[in-house]
Structures are given as structure tokens and as C-alpha cells.
A and B are shown apart, each in its own frame.
Chain A
């Protein structure tokens, strides 16, 4: 979980033709494996950065008054996958708790979609994120991270999360590169499905 922010020149750099950054967000509770997943597929060692947001700045400019503002600082990890000469995918690992959400609305606006990573022993951690993604109409899939033996069937997990049949739910091993690739591909396939569904209307 170290953040390797020391020397940028030790990390592979983007080609000079790179022109379009694309975002995918990995959302999940503490310790569910977000960083592990990002690390499994990233071409750079995951980096960490922080953002601070003052709630008062959401509406009118209240910053100079110095009163009644709530400042939230949140750290997030991210990794990178070069897709083509022009396009590059950034994966963000983001905690899904309610108190961080107003930050994601701004930071991750325009994301391709989200993978909600869940631990089926702590499904409660995911309710808020799933509600918000549904409300915002952001395409997402749910991936259950394998922690030893999973206790429940995927159907039971779907029921407990009250997840629509339209939302893909898959198993994933965040330590395994192929499994993480498959989870990201499942999100892209879901986006293709949404495209077809729209054309069929």
C-alpha cells in the first residue's frame, strides 16, 4: 500500500502522441482490495494523491469568511493503462463512503464507468455507492473480491445488495491480473450492452 511518489522518471512515461485520458473508478470500502486491483493491471506502480474540498465552496464563494465550512481531505490511489497511441486509461481507487461522495462527483465526472468492489462479509459498505451510481445513471458493474472461501452464492449477494438484474455481478480476485482484466472487460461489455439497448429503443 506504499505510494511510490518519489521519482517520476523511474516510471514508464506516456508516448508523446497520448492525447486523451479516460477514467474508470474502482469504488469500495476500506480494505476491500481497490489498490490491489489497480496494482494488478497498472503499467506504473500505483500513485497516491490527495484532494481537499471545502463544502462551502460547492455553492457560493464562502471561502474567505472562514466560518461554517467543512473541509474534507481524501487520499486516492490510481494507476494507468496505455490503450492506443492516443488513448490512455486511468484507474482510480476510491473509498465509497458517504462523506467522500461529493468529491467523487467532481473528480470523476465524465468517467467511463465504475467497478464496485465488494467483500461479501461487509456488503453494507457498498450500499451507499451503489445507490449513488444508480441515481446518477453512471454505468457500473459489481465485482465480489474473493477472500478465501466466499460464504454466499452470487445470487444471494445480488439479493442482499438489491441489485438490478441489468447490473453485471461477477467474481474477481484482485491479486490476479487476468481476473482484474476480466472485471474491467466486463464493465466495457456492459457499456456495449447499454449501447445496443439504446439503439433497440
Chain B
């Protein structure tokens, strides 16, 4: 494995930014849910929230936000849930259901993926 981006992180910092909250196991956010800012930063806002709002002026996936903030995905989701709950960001969720032989992705989606790859 490559050296992790969080190697220099201290658990204390992660604890502080989430105010000690634990990850929610079955949260609504997917790693590829796209997050959009719906408002500007406010004075006195926690710096992580401000960074998220600055980043998400364009749609940004949860996993990208985690990477840029150098937080684990689960910690990032806690912060995003705060912003979602207060209406400061919105989320565009993936529609794909788990791909199994019984539930395949739609042909329309597959056509888009195929065309997109062919145009690379």
C-alpha cells in the first residue's frame, strides 16, 4: 500500500473536528455522492466547514472531499451531514442499485459509460 495521506494525523484532531462523534454505520451518503455548496461561509464557522463550502462551489464527490481534507471518509461524512442538515450543502446521490445479475444498471447508463470511455 502507498503511504497513507493521514499518516501524520493525530486521533485528537479527528476527534476534535467531529466533536467526538462516531461514524454512523448506515449513513445516507455514498462515496460518490456529489456535494454542492448552497451558501457562503459564515464568520466564525469551523475551518473544515469553510473548506468544504469553498471546494463544493462545483460538484465534488464525498471521496474527493475526504482526500483534499485528509480525513477518513467516515469523518468527512460526519462533517458533510452537519452541512446537509443545516442546508448549507446539497447532495446528488448515485441512482445505481447494486449491480448483480438480477439488478443490472440501466441500458441508458451503460450506453453513456461506453460512449464516455470510447471518447477518452
Q: Indicate whether A and B interact.
A: yes
Task: Flag if A84 contacts B112 (CB, 8 Å).
Answer: yes
User: Quick one: given A23-B32, A83-B113, A90-B32, are A185 and B118 in contact (CB under 8 Å)?
Assistant: yes
Determine the chain B residues whose CB is within 8 A of the CB of A15 once the complex forms: 58-59
Say whether chain B's binding surface is mostly helix, strand, loop, or mixed: loop
* Bound form: Cα–Cα A50–B5 in Å: 7
A167 at the interface (CB under 8 A from B): no
The count of A-to-B residue pairs whose CB atoms sit within 8 angstroms is: 187
Contact count band on A: 35 or more
A19 interface residue, CB < 8 Å from B? yes
Query: Of all chain B residues, which has the CB nearest A95?
Result: B1
The listed residue (A14, A57, A58, A77) touching B34 by CB distance below 8 A is A14
Instruction: Choose among B4, B99, B105, B114 the residue with the greatest number of A CB atoms under 10 Å from its CB.
Output: B99
- Expressed in whole angstroms, the minimum distance between the Cβ of A68 and any Cβ of chain B is 16
At the interface with chain B, which of A105-113, A118-126, A147-155, A156-164? A105-113
Given contacts A83-B115, A110-B97, A194-B101, contact A19 B70 (CB under 8 A): no
